Chain A
Amino acid sequence: MESVQAEQRRTDIGPPNYENFLHPVIKKNYGTWKYHEILKPGVLVHVSETGEKIYTVRMGSPRLINIETIRMICDLADKYSDGYLRFTSRHNVEFLMTDQSKIDPLISEIESKGYPVGGTGKSITNIVHTQGWVHCHTPATDASGIVKSVMDELYDYFRTMKLPAKLRIALACCLNMCGAVHCSDIAILGVHRRPPKILSNLNKLCEVPTTVASCPTGAIAPAVVDGVQTVEVNEEKCMFCGNCYTMCPAMPLANSLNDGVSIWVGGKVSNARHAPMFSKLAIPYIPNNPPRWPEVVDAVKNIVEIYAKNAKKYERLGEWIERIGWSRFFDMTGIEFTKYHIDDYRFAATTYNTSTHFTL
């Protein structure tokens, strides 16, 4: 019954055209929006040149959602937004509505089902994150569990807009950074700290030349052990990036005792005021402590609270640190500064301070 005739098989049709999914008011006013306002946390209105309005209610989601939840969201869309909705780049759901009087009933219904409304303006919106132990073979930590624990603690920041500026948190569970967290206000990044193990069946699973070539520091060399072709690792040269494991399944890095989390701060992607910036290292290592990673939650909360108290209006975390200087950042947050904070990879010298501009 499930078999499909070759001639019926369709390929390369691409995604459906987005125009099929646009609310009629959006279709009508496409490209003619004049301005928007944030009416309250999680609620936007966009006004067109013609005066027509579309309201948006933004709901937080845990990203990993089941089909029952999607159907519940569809029911809400049918009831409140003529069956039209969208998702944001940060896993939130947006209901697109024309009837302002339906906004509050929709919010009550969303909240009664255990989902928050917010994530607009000067808030902490949803955490962009990766798969972790739920579905990945290279993670140094879980993703969803840390995100849940951090958002439980920062919940009020999602539902209010009381920060100096927006604050974007992202999590990637290894250096592959599927979540491209390297330009976030606060990035939580899983790290390995031990070199790969070399499994005895490497010759059956991996190509030795591509495995050797995969190492950015040249730490992997061909070797013959007991007459069998394999590789050896110069452990002093290993920076635990995991690229060898991506190329060769016989070189796993996962280590339950040593894997953990690092914290990075001050990145941004928007061009507003300051140019886009990378996040920089704040905390090199925190051990994995499931199910709630309390040390990670405390570290993030500490940075958020000190930033919230001290930054000026509109100042993103990285702009604030740039103004006060890194010495003051470490001082104010109480985060220990170590040799790991000083870059020793390519172009490291460009990050050294060549001025006397700093606080003591």
Chain B
Amino acid sequence: MANEAKKSTTPLLDDLEKGKWPSFVREIKKMADKNPRAKDLLGQLEMSYRDKVTHWKHGGLVGVRGYGGGVIGRYSDSPDKFPNVAHFHTIRVNQPSGWFYTSKALREICDIWEQHGSGLTNMHGSTGDMVLLGTSTDNLEPIFSKLTSKGWDLGGSGSVLRTPSCCLGKARCEFACYDTLALTNDLTHEFQDVLHRPQFPYKWKFKMAGCPNDCVASVARADMSIIGRWKDDVRVDQDAVREYAKSGVNVQTEICDLCPTQCMSWDGRELKIENTWCNKCMHCINAMPKALRPGKDTGATILIGAKAPILQGAELSSVLVPFMKIEPPYKELKDLVEKIWDFWGEYGKNRERIGELIQRVGMGQFLEAIELPPSPQMIKNPRENPFIFYEEYFEEEGSGEGSK
């Protein structure tokens, strides 16, 4: 009898409490002792581990009054067995730029979530939001009013501007070529309406990276990737280069030979850089941060169109504006964004990301529509096929129209 009582109801998940890496099962179990939602989540998850299939149903339309996003509806397919997760909706809370917090602010959110939800979170979700994992429909309005009373708002979901996110930029990085935190905060506040209320053909993501290292993976994940860069010379401290050499860095093989443009040379005393060739890849700066720094004439490259595979295949962002100064009030950038959104709203099909629309209509047509000049920075190479849609032509003299 005593053995019977001790027998675990979650033998498969129990195995994931073992091992050195911190265990998500332990996180759920710790809440399960005091929170019935967490307890039923554990039970349903064990059932998934046994059945090798999810037990969550397709989401439904659920949210807070006046918003069309920010809450992901989730329902159990076994509410009879696990009534406390019959509804188990996710709330996305818009994170502060760069994911900086104080302990006081985090504790306030914990207190709200303790009272109204599962007590489980993701820090953070893939898009960047703080994710409050699992509550019922009747708790949504109370949570929303408590969050807003503490200065927090919901993030995006569905066909909206998704919560913008950024690297930590100038707050703690010497590579940042523009203020990613300020821009992210500014755009998020400027575009609150389209963030909360679906008005787009599909989702739109902004990601701000301070330098070409792209620590927020903007080139892979953002419809508009804003990646910092500089125009002038790499700043070099020759004494510090010699220090690196003395401490064992082989400047020739580890720095010069790995430079993709071969724009550097090292004679054992001085590192020379032919800056007009430099493509700002960051390798030398990453490898010797005490000796090398980005230049001072800084801004960003604007790229467009990244997305995951659904629907027409994954895309990386590609260059749209080779260089733009990024300074408040960001008028040039916002004008560009509005033009693109107008074009997308006009021509985008339902659930067509901007990258797919550009593939469909052609980059040339897109550039004309948003009034940007074509430039060689936009391509890996010019077209290889001769199937050109010529628009200009001559007509015989006197036949009416001349060349278009």
Listed in ascending order, the chain A residues whose CB lies under 8 Å from chain B are 2, 4, 8-18, 20-22, 26, 30-31, 33-37, 46, 54, 56, 60-71, 73-75, 77-78, 83-89, 91, 93, 96, 114-116, 128, 130-139, 142, 144-145, 148-149, 151-152, 155, 158, 172, 175-180, 182-183, 210, 213-214, 216, 241-243, 245-247, 249, 254-257, 259, 267, 269-274, 276, 278, 288, 290-292, 313-314, 345-346
Chain B residues 95-143 with CB under 8 Å of chain A are 95-107, 109-110, 113-114, 119-126, 128, 133-134, 141-142
Listed in ascending order, the chain B residues whose CB lies under 8 Å from chain A are 12-13, 15-16, 18-25, 27-28, 30-31, 38, 41, 45, 48-49, 51-59, 65-67, 74, 88, 90, 94-107, 109-110, 113-114, 119-126, 128, 133-134, 141-142, 145, 148-149, 151-153, 165, 167-168, 170-174, 176, 179, 181, 185, 188-189, 192-193, 196, 212-221, 227, 254, 258-260, 280-283, 286-287, 289-290, 293, 308-314, 316, 350-351
Chain B contacts for A269, CB-based, 8 A: 214, 217-220
Chain B contacts for A67, CB-based, 8 A: 31, 110, 113-114, 119-121
Name A15's contact: one of B57, B94, B287 (CB within 8 Å). B94
B24 touches A144 (CB 8 A): yes
C-alpha gap A200/B179 in the complex (Å) = 54
Q: In the complex, how many angstroms separate the beta carbon of B228 from the nearest chain A beta carbon?
A: 11
| 4 nearest A-B residue pairs (beta carbon) | A152-B19, A249-B58, A74-B103, A177-B308
B123 touches A70 (CB 8 A): yes
Answer whether A177 and B56 are a contact pair too, CB < 8 Å, given A17-B96, A133-B48: no
Chain A contacts for B172, CB-based, 8 A: 26, 33, 46, 54, 56, 96
C-alpha gap A161/B48 in the complex (Å) = 36
B107 touches A13 (CB 8 A): no
A11 touches B196 (CB 8 A): yes
Query: Is chain A's binding surface mostly helix, strand, loop or mixed?
Result: loop
B212 touches A18 (CB 8 A): no
Please give me the residue from chain B that is nearest to A91 by CB atom: B123
A175 touches B310 (CB 8 A): yes
Answer whether A78 and B27 are a contact pair too, CB < 8 Å, given A30-B170, A35-B174, A290-B49: no
C-alpha gap A74/B111 in the complex (Å) = 13
A34 touches B174 (CB 8 A): yes
B21 touches A151 (CB 8 A): yes
A70 touches B23 (CB 8 A): no
10 A–B contacts, CB within 8 A, in A order: A22-B171, A71-B106, A132-B54, A138-B54, A152-B21, A176-B310, A182-B308, A243-B310, A257-B52, A272-B286
